[in-house]
Structure 1
Amino acid sequence: MLTWLRARSRSGRTAAELYGSIVTAARREIFYSELGVPDTPDGRFAMLALHMYLVLERLQEEGPEGQKLSRALVERFVTDIDDCMRELGVGDLTVPRKVKKAAGALYDWSAQFRQAKTAGGETALADAVKRCLLPPEADSRAPKVLATYICEEERRFREHPATALLAGKIAFSAVDLGPEFTDAHRARLDP
């Protein structure tokens, strides 16, 4: 029995480490300042869900051990969402319903991204990103940039050593805005 408890504790620590990397990546300023994701609880949740999707997809490729860590990571996500809602002052009776809705959104968006990639590649993924993650006022180039980011991270993560991932080690790369976006940004900075 103690072996089970130690194993659960170990996977919990590993999930917490992965989740910390996910939160750090989701909070990068580029999403909010350049791509037009609102710096609000909803916008931050959208970026958190995007990065959770990336890691969960990679973990699914690692068989039973990856699935076990995936479950622990989702538990950590749900606990964090619960804590955040309580900190925001959401009533105790409403929190479970909202947490369930947030977890449902994560799974729904993940399914839409998977389906879009299968059906139409990066273009269809950009449409899914626009529909799921971005508000109407977001920069019109943002869906393509995020779809490219997702595809690049998935490619990189496939090359990422499984042992490092299962030990809670993952690093996200920089978001490539592309030349048009960068030129427009420079024009705003250099009047």
Structure 2
Amino acid sequence: MGKQPGGSGGGGFGGREGRGGDRRDKTKGRRRKEERQSEYKETVVKINRCASVQKGGRRFSFAALAVVGDERGRVGVGYGKANEVPPAVNKALKEARDSMVKISILGDTIPHEIVGEFSASKVVLKPAAPGTGVIAGQSVRAVLDACGVRNILSKAYGNTNPINLVKATMTALRALRTKEEVAALRGVQIP
């Protein structure tokens, strides 16, 4: 009887010789790179497949919507397109990292109620008491989690397309102001 594939010893599928042992060494560099970038929370909200009809049949391309945040008040949104899914996701994540903005948050909620609109989508965000959690749909939740908000109430009206909802949420979050920021803008001191 010969050696079993995958057993200890010689060749086969799971042996230590040949390709199996080399593969682990090659990924060490990639793992270190991923650990460096893991300071941000990265979420892929939506992957959309688009088809263009050619003479020989359909040609597919992919679009990815991603949200990146540091969970301490900075968040960004990106949209990437490519002929395969991984490059589309990478483009979206890169754009999201490059477009990060600082959001005014108060503890683990937002300072005041706000409405964000984009296209036909409307998102209402309300501050919530500790222990409430994030009450939001998938798209809005991705942005709020990446931003570091832990207690919030939200409601989406109109078009519920994920891209529009994410952009409406970002519009609302960018418009948030704390008491101190408003006082500084008005040139007034808080009593």
Q: Report the TM-score range of the alignment, normalised by the length of the smaller protein.
A: under 0.3
Higher strand share: 2
TM-score (structure 1 length as normaliser): 0.24
Larger Rg: 2
The structure in which a higher percent of residues are helix is 1
Normalised to the residue count of structure 2, the TM-score between the two structures is 0.24
Q: Which has the higher contact order (CA 8 A, sep 6+)?
A: 1
